[in-house]
Amino acid sequence: MSLYDQQYLAIVQNILDHGYYDQNRTGIATYKLPHQTMQFDLQQELPILTTKKVAFRTAVREILWIYQKQSNDVKELQKQKVHIWDEWMMEDGTIGTAYGWVIKQFHQVDKLLEQLKNNPQDRRMMVNLWQIPYLETGALAPCCFLSMWDVTDGRLNCMLVQRSGDMGLGVPFNTTQYAVLTHLIAQATGYRPGLLTHVINNAHIYENQVEALKLQLTRKEQAYPAPKLWINPEIHDFYEFTMKDIKLIDYQYHDKIHMEVAV
């Protein structure tokens, strides 16, 4: 069994068994638990679920759109047949002053790359999408809003902090995305990938996802080993990676499980 299936399904089971039930802004009630944490050594495995299919290429396209392209243009994703932001697209075709826009506005990735190359023991290496003056003009307040970076013994470690975690749909994407992002930034700055620690302040299951997640839990004993991640070893500029340079090897998975997104 992959370590991600093990840790993720343990949180899902804990929420179903002990979660606090209440309403929220979406109008679809949730079961939730605070302060859930998962941790992975990225040299040992890539965290991606095998108890259901995760759309790996879609997940990577989104994280590159945010961190590499630093874009807020939903149409750019739609051209790649990625429609996960369609529900939040504003009249101008963007998500406003959110995600990639905030990164570009403050040159956050450029600063992180410079710190990692020239001052790797800096304790202020982070990318923060929670920029208060721009929250109201964004289509959605960022869920994965903070990543903090550390270099220890030649390994690049990332702590991802997520204020709100939709366990059914969002979290499986988010963990895998930031694992890939850590690999890419590590290769671009000359480090080996290290730890990915994923902290979720509000880990929740929408009540219309309960039966789907119960189905996924029945697959726990039939989970597959984690696949391998291949990144083109010739690329050492973060801004030059393309989808052709990022591949999964030997990804085995159970069937996709359909769930509704809460907007």
Known catalytic residues are 143
Over the Cα atoms of the chain, what is R_g?
18
Residue labelled with tokens 């759309």: 55
Q: What does the alpha-carbon distance between residue 10 and residue 5 come to, in Å, rounded to a whole number?
A: 8
β-pairing verdict for 144-152 and 30-41: unpaired
Strand residue runs (E) in the chain = 20-22, 30-41, 126-128, 144-152, 155-166, 192-206, 228-231, 246-249
**Bridge partners of 96?**
138
At 47, list the tokens. 């965290």
Which residues, 6 or more positions from 95, have their beta carbon under 8 angstroms from its beta carbon? 72, 74, 85, 88, 89, 101, 138, 139, 140
- Measure Cα distances from 111 to 52, 114, 151 in Å: 37, 5, 15
Query: Which helix H or strand E contains 174, and what residues bound it?
Result: helix 170-189
